[in-house]
Amino acid sequence: MAHESESVSLLPPEIISEILVRLPVKSLLMMRCVSKSWLSLISTRQFIKTHLEFSTNKQDFAHDILLSSSSFEHTLRFYTCSLYAIMYQESPHVPDDLDFPCKDPLVNYNFVGSCEGLLCISGGAHDLFLWNPSIRKSKKLPISGSNVHCSSYLAYGIGYNECQDDYKVVEVMGSSHSEYGFQNEFRVYSLRTNSWKMIQEYPGVIFCNDPAKFVNGRLHWIATRVSDKNDSWFISSLNLVDERYENVALPDLVYGNFDWELGILGGNLCVFCDYYKVRMDVWVMKAYGLVESWTKVASIPYFTAIEHSPFPVFISHNDEILLQHRSSLLIYNSTHNTFKHPQVQIHHGYKIQFSLYTKSLVSPHFVEEV
């Protein structure tokens, strides 16, 4: 063993780095114990970023499926399962139960979203947590300073500012004032500085309190204007670099009796248009910001077994779409117009959410301690 260790140490550092960056997170956590130099290398921001880029640049199945399950007792549990296994291997699938560190039975925990391996979770009215289950690191964020007891709603989002190499959590607090009308206070948390700041308000707009979708450096919410008597909704975005608000044009939808949601498929912004009990149209913005790039990639028909609106989670290179239907999964093949039903064995709660998850070395403490 000593001879092997000496042989490895003779390799140039850049070769060692090229080898290590190709390993999965679980292996890298063990490799940190090989030597102080390997621990130092694997803990650097540059290595963490390079490893993440290498992982996400792989083909379709660089991700896992993340399952969050909450119960009436406020218990929030997380599981992961191989996306490749769900799409192409035989059922049933037994996911790994992740050890969520926050277990106060008196607190109502909710999954806010994830970004590059970091999960954001709210706890009660004030608390927010960042957690990377792959490296078993978590962090409670400082209080944002919002007076949540005066709020009409709270909306959250998590994303990454590439220019500053910084992860951001955004809190939107909407409230109605008789003197000022409807106001939105935006607060942004920086992982790099471990602090919150308030940015320019966005008055007169009501945001849907679903977690924001992070695409192209921007967080996206569904919103409507207070003054809009037609109650029409649009896509509002916040650029995490310059902290400016913009609207994103919707696709040319066939109007009628339908509801729509925002999503992400293949890293692109999506609109899921649900024509009740008839079909769901899946629109993808293939070139961000270009309204003409909106493309309807599938029109998913309802059938007897679909009782509630399905929600697309993932689309493969051959246009197979993984759908969440209530607390289970369906795979729709748009070419053959067929469905498969992969079995995932979990303890069902009253609220199940499926999403994509990337295993990474990104620490909620930003720079990993050596």
Distances 61 to 55, 262, 362 between C-alpha atoms, Å: 10, 22, 19
In angstroms, the CA 314 to CA 267 distance is 10
In angstroms, the CA 100 to CA 132 distance is 10
Give 368's pLDDT tier (boundaries 50, 70, 90). very low
Mean pLDDT score, 68-94: 82
Query: What pLDDT is attached to residue 9?
Result: 60
In angstroms, the CA 275 to CA 258 distance is 4
Lowest mean pLDDT among 94-98, 148-152, 260-264, 357-361: 148-152
In angstroms, the CA 256 to CA 193 distance is 47
Mean pLDDT score, 190-195: 95
Query: What pLDDT is attached to residue 229?
Result: 62
Query: What pLDDT is attached to residue 191?
Result: 96
In angstroms, the CA 276 to CA 158 distance is 31
Verdict on whether the full-model pTM lies above 0.75: yes
Q: Are the C-beta atoms of 346 and 328 separated by less than 8 Å?
A: no
Query: What pLDDT is attached to residue 175?
Result: 76
Query: What pLDDT is attached to residue 137?
Result: 94
% residues pLDDT > 90 (the chain): 45
Buried b (16+ CB within 10 A) or exposed e, 57-94: eeeeebbbbbbbbbeeebebbbbbbbbebbbeeeeebe
In angstroms, the CA 316 to CA 322 distance is 8
Give 334's pLDDT tier (boundaries 50, 70, 90). confident
Give 124's pLDDT tier (boundaries 50, 70, 90). confident
Pick the closest to residue 315 from 350, 352, 284 (CA basis).
Answer: 284
Q: Are the C-beta atoms of 271 and 260 separated by less than 8 Å?
A: yes
| pLDDT tens-place string over residues 288-323 | 999 999 999 999 988 766 667 789 999 988 889 999
Lowest mean pLDDT among 46-55, 71-80, 292-301: 71-80
Place of tokens 């994303």: 159
In angstroms, the CA 30 to CA 22 distance is 14
CA angle 141, 118, 129 (to 5 degrees): 25
Residue 231 has pLDDT above 80, yes or no: no
Mean pLDDT score, 229-251: 90
| Crossing angle of the two packed helices 13-20 and 45-56, in degrees rounded to 10 | 50
